[in-house]
Amino acid sequence: MQENLQAASQKIVSLSPVDMAIIAIYFATVIGIGFYLKRYTSKGEGFFLAGREMSAWVAGLAFISANLGALELMGWAGAAYQYGILAAHWYWIGAIPAILFLGIVMMPFYYISKTHSVPGFLKLRYGEAARGFNAIAFAFMFLLMSGINMYAMALVMKVVLGWNIHFSIWVAAITVGVYVTLGGLYSAVFNEVMQFFLIWFGVLLIPIFGLIDAGGWSGMVARIQQNFPGGDYTHLWQSTGSFGDNPMGIHWTGIVLGLGWVVSFGYWTTDFLVVQRVLTAKDLRAAKLAPIIGSYFKMAVPFVVILPGLLALAVLPMNLVPESAVGPGQHSYNEVLPLMLARYFGPGLLGLGITALMAGFMSGMAGEISAFTTVFTYDIYRSYINKKGSDSHYVTMGRICTMLGVLISIGTAYLVMEFKSIMDYVQALFSFFVAPLFGTVLLGMLWKRATPAGGFWGLLAGTLSSIGMWALVKANPKNIALIALSDNAKDMAENMYRALWSWIVCVVVTVVVSLFTRPKPVEELVGLVYGCTKLPSEGHLPLWKRPIFYAAISAGLFVILQVVFW
């Protein structure tokens, strides 16, 4: 690992005074926001849920920005270099249907139940055992995920500036720790909204300059075909009829069922990091609109995240390699974005671009840390360690957890180097913890016969089966054909199919156990399950004011994108 760090330690650009000033202003601003918002976080509702007073637009932008950190920027740009335009599936079929489902179908139950977290909902629906298991799993996942953002930021500093990777990690970690400790979720949300605009202004120029350099879309396609003959990197669906015809080694069934159904719906509807942002909305209508607003921006993100990776296939003079195979003078898939940044940005623009990446990193890490803090404080500490603490005591504990989470995340940052790319690592985590959970939550909301025992054992079986399948392939790589249905499958394809199988295991176990155990009385399911809950009517509103209207437009745009890039 140390050799890998030293191999790319020389900086490839130099910062001008203007660039340094832009970066310094950003750091000062986020710290200032933390100090300013501290006055609003003396109570638990303010520190952990931002007071539940955000508008639909603010909650919607925070909802998308929490998912648009350095992990997304660095990871999916690298994944686009590795797998081509197939990476865009994670933004379209892997996001839009699930986001709309969250807003229209699931958000009313999260909001009406006044839960502070997804584990909190599980307690109300299934009981303490399911909540406790999920809380521990989520806390573990959040720490692993926040470490990714640390590692991604260190890569930017290493590749672009030549900074020591350890120094970069500590500077950014301390900054995030300070402003989240001070301002809680308020700080995280406000910085996520600021980061959203910084990314668009700071990174959008890369695809613009890149397309000019490559001769437009057709010129880029021609160059990719010349540089990588025999591979189809520029069609979304056309090459997925066979496992061996695309760079990912995946069949369309894996994309539709593994990604489009299990991983996508699991992440966007049950991952507390993103759901927490919507719970900050001021009322139910705003909570339903927030994800729908976010879906429009999500559809546009590939143009600033995926496109740079495709352009790198066309214009970069070197071939990039997996992270675990980096040698002297080589660069990994994960370094695509900083390499493109260095290629096209000069003084001033470079400072803006680096600031955008830093903002993405810190926003992503802040989101993971604030989610970890809420889950640990409410669902572990208050439930099992100190049940009778005051509100101010839990806020203090939340601030302590924030700093503790930052320190643990520094250690998890180095685990990423054991995977071929950032996104292979992330999708593996999702298949462990998110895919099975979706089965548990979905059955809980739609099937009143699901029992507490069924929810717990289904979730446990799904999680353990996913980890077991991963270990099976690690023990013998040839076993990937058993999981991903093909010898040609790559790591990402394995993740998609593993998620699908673990979801099926969870659902089957939940149903079977529920049929043999006692369900909760119907009166205890009010506000938690369809058929037992009276939802507020929107019939008095004109069509153009109803969330379903904007969800339908978003769905139409999603279909158009599939056809255009077929």
Q: pLDDT-derived band of residue 272, with 50, 70 and 90 as boundaries? A: low
Which pLDDT score is estimated for 400? 80
Which pLDDT score is estimated for 465? 94
In a domain, 470, yes or no: no
Contact 99, 67 (CB under 8 A): no
CATH number of the domain enclosing 170:
1.20.1730.10
Which pLDDT score is estimated for 182? 59
> Mean of the pLDDT values across residues 465-471?
92
In a domain, 79, yes or no: yes
Q: pLDDT-derived band of residue 337, with 50, 70 and 90 as boundaries? A: confident
In a domain, 500, yes or no: no
- Find tokens 């671009």 and name the residue: 353
In a domain, 488, yes or no: no
Which pLDDT score is estimated for 165? 65
- Which domain, by its residues, includes 64? 2-424
Q: Report in angstroms the alpha-carbon separations of 82 from 152, 205, 556.
A: 17, 22, 29
Helix, strand, coil tally for the chain in percent (to 5): 75, 0, 20
418-456: per-residue pLDDT in tens? 555 666 777 788 888 888 988 998 898 889 899 999 999
Contact 301, 88 (CB under 8 A): no
In a domain, 501, yes or no: no
Q: Alpha-carbon distance 544 to 548, whole Å?
A: 9
Q: Report in angstroms the alpha-carbon separations of 26 from 20, 139, 341.
A: 10, 29, 18
Q: What is the pTM of this model?
A: 0.74
Helix axes 302-315, 284-300, angle to 10 degrees: 20
Q: Alpha-carbon distance 141 to 220, whole Å?
A: 38
62, pLDDT greater than 80: no
Q: pLDDT above 70 covers what percent of the chain?
A: 77
Q: How many domains does the chain have?
A: 1
1, pLDDT greater than 60: no
Q: How far is CA 381 from the centre of its chain?
A: 25
Mean pLDDT of the chain: 77
In a domain, 487, yes or no: no
106-134: per-residue pLDDT in tens? 777 777 766 666 777 888 889 888 888 88
In a domain, 169, yes or no: yes
493-539: per-residue pLDDT in tens? 888 889 899 999 999 999 999 999 999 988 888 878 877 777 777 66
- List CB contacts of 95: < 8 A, sequence separation 6 or more: 264, 268, 295, 298
Determine the residue type at 97.
Answer: P
- Torsion, Cα of 6, 321, 414, 182 (10° steps): 100
349, pLDDT greater than 50: yes
Which pLDDT score is estimated for 460? 94
Q: How many residues does the chain have?
A: 566
> Mean of the pLDDT values across residues 40-63?
60
In the chain, the N- to C-terminal Cα span, in Å, equals 40
Residue 490 is classified by DSSP as: -
In a domain, 14, yes or no: yes
**Structure token digits, residue 364:** 């992503």
- Find tokens 């600021």 and name the residue: 194
